[in-house]
Amino acid sequence: MKLWNKILLGLLVTCQWSTVYATPNELDKVAVIVNSGVILQSDIETSLKTIRANAKDNQQTLPDDDTLREQVTEKLIVDTIQQQEAERIGVRIDDNRLNKTIEDIAKNNQQTLEQLYASIAKEGLSYSQFREQVRKEIAASEARNALVRRRINILPAEVDNLANVLAKETNATVQYKVGHIQLRIDEKEDKSAVETKANQIVQKLNQGADFNTLAYTYSKGPKALQGGDWGWMRKEEMPTIFADQIKLQNKGSIIGPFRSGVGFHILKIEDVKGLETVAVTEIQARHILIKPTVILSDEGVQNELLDITRKIESGEATFGEMAQQYSQDPGSASQQGELGYQTSDIYVPEFKHQIDTLPIGKISEPFKTVHGWHIVEVMDKREVDRTDSALKNKAYRIIFNRKFNEEASAWLQEIRASAFVEVIQEKQDGN
């Protein structure tokens, strides 16, 4: 499957779910009402067309049309709700970031931009449709990251305990390519019947059935429309329910079914690979955050931050003094804006990009994240390997990644359950 199609159909910590939308026309019909928005029949048909084309290219067997349509419709509903959440909290993706993302898609797919455009056209999408869908997907991902982060609470004792465990291990870790099938238990369903179905799926897998096809057909997990493929992960990057079950199994091993709070799970170890040395770059940065208000517009915030930068660079004030006086991030403002030595991947993407690319001692131009408008200065960078600080940062990332995946799954179920959804038309005549 081409990389841009993967992005449009969902994966990423990666990871990124999306929807391919077609341009509405006079004959288009509303298929699903989702809160104040709609999913058009053409949205469903375009997604089905893309999935079928990719399956054909990859010689992948798909389930029957009704099952596939049901899976696609549910995916579009969840995507629409996430995009509505992005609009609600004011996520905006500018053209520079969008262009960079599209360039990365082409690069990772080993294509030029012209070749990517040709691939898009071959799938029946215009370039403008593709651009706007990628923009929506980035915004939805940003909203998901921001809203899920708020649900995560990591205690210092958790980090210390795990850091002590990691200190006894080597830097090398095994990576697994994991497939996942999740059978959800709803209130109306018989739990024993769901467990029986899970055991039947395992029996089929042990008899040589294709895992991806069974995931397309039965799974209600977050990667159902990717054939259950979670990609390559170390154990510390997996959801806890995966990590607890995987104990150095060989390639091809089937694990499960096993039970969690949401249902029954089946894992397949698609592949296993080697050892990886951990090396960490820590960045010491400081920032000033100002949030727009009803009175203070985005433009007003940018001007205020530019004036603060001018005062710092002219020597009228220090960065620390300005952070203490103006920054609306209480945690860092009390520390003169300083964030300490951290790895950049703990920050939201726009902030991460700034501190990864800024020269030491340079103050950034004002930039926006889901938290507000920032200026940031990189104070220092250092390479660390197995130091106490590095181990604690690694432990924090491990705990954060586990909790993030768990909370993200719970959050998606919650917003889906609380949304108003009315299916108007499940399939077109003749399809």
Q: Is the pTM of the predicted complex or chain greater than 0.75?
A: no
Q: Is residue 369 part of a domain?
A: yes
Is the CB of residue 169 less than 8 Å from the CB of residue 277? no
217, 252, 273: which is the final residue of a domain?
273
Report the 10 Å Cβ neighbour count for 270. Answer: 19
* Lowest mean per-residue pLDDT among 72-81, 167-176, 195-204, 403-412: 167-176
Domain identity same for 292 and 363: yes
Domain identity same for 143 and 27: yes
Report the 10 Å Cβ neighbour count for 335. Answer: 15
Domain identity same for 297 and 186: no
Sign of CA dihedral 377, 382, 384, 387: negative
Task: Please state, in angstroms and as integers, the Cα–Cα distance from residue 171 to each residue in 157, 167, 279, 387, 391, following that order.
Answer: 22, 9, 9, 11, 10
pLDDT at 406 over 80: yes
Domain identity same for 259 and 174: yes
Domain identity same for 234 and 289: no
Peptide bond into 257 cis (omega under 30): yes
Domain identity same for 268 and 339: no
3-state secondary structure of 353: helix
Residues 6+ positions from 267 with CB-CB distance below 8 Å? 178, 179, 180, 242, 245, 246, 254, 255, 256
Average pLDDT over residues 355-373: 93
CATH number for 24: 1.10.4030.10
Report d(CA 259, CA 244) in Å as an integer.
12
CATH number for 367: 3.10.50.40
Q: Which pair of structure tokens corresponds to residue 7? A: 């992005």
Domain identity same for 204 and 253: yes
pLDDT value of residue 5: 47
Q: Is residue 372 part of a domain?
A: yes
273, 299, 322: which is the final residue of a domain?
273
Q: Which pair of structure tokens corresponds to residue 265? A: 């799970």
pLDDT value of residue 286: 96
Encoded amino acid at 181, one letter = I
Domain of residue 19, residue span: 3-150
Domain identity same for 210 and 236: yes
pLDDT value of residue 160: 85
Report d(CA 89, CA 20) in Å as an integer.
22
Q: Is residue 199 part of a domain?
A: yes
Report d(CA 157, CA 188) in Å as an integer.
40
Q: Is residue 378 part of a domain?
A: yes
Question: How many structural domains compose the chain?
Answer: 3
Report d(CA 9, CA 18) in Å as an integer.
5
3-state secondary structure of 281: strand
Domain identity same for 125 and 32: yes
3-state secondary structure of 372: strand
Q: Which pair of structure tokens corresponds to residue 49? A: 């067309």
Domain identity same for 139 and 15: yes
pLDDT at 26 over 70: no
Tell how strand 263-273 and strand 280-290 pair up: unpaired
Domain identity same for 93 and 220: no
Report d(CA 152, CA 142) in Å as an integer.
16
Residues 295-324 have pLDDT tens digits of 989 999 999 999 999 999 999 999 999 999
pLDDT value of residue 186: 76
Report d(CA 230, CA 274) in Å as an integer.
18
Domain identity same for 314 and 369: yes
Tokens 């209600």, located at residue: 220
3-state secondary structure of 203: helix
pLDDT at 419 over 80: yes
Is the CB of residue 242 less than 8 Å from the CB of residue 181? no
Task: Please state, in angstroms and as integers, the Cα–Cα distance from residue 92 to each residue in 22, 148, 206, 373, 429, following that order.
Answer: 21, 18, 47, 12, 38
Residue 425: pLDDT band by 50, 70, 90 thresholds?
low
pLDDT value of residue 171: 37
Q: Is residue 419 part of a domain?
A: no
pLDDT at 265 over 90: yes
Closest CA to 15 of 229, 280, 180: 229
pLDDT at 256 over 60: yes
Bin 336: left if φ > 0, else alpha if -120 < ψ < 50, else beta. Answer: left
Report d(CA 209, CA 227) in Å as an integer.
13
Average pLDDT over residues 103-110: 86
pLDDT value of residue 279: 61
Report d(CA 297, CA 87) in Å as an integer.
17
Is the CB of residue 32 less than 8 Å from the CB of residue 423? yes
Task: Please state, in angstroms and as integers, the Cα–Cα distance from residue 394 to each residue in 146, 149, 163, 279, 339, following that order.
Answer: 21, 17, 8, 10, 17
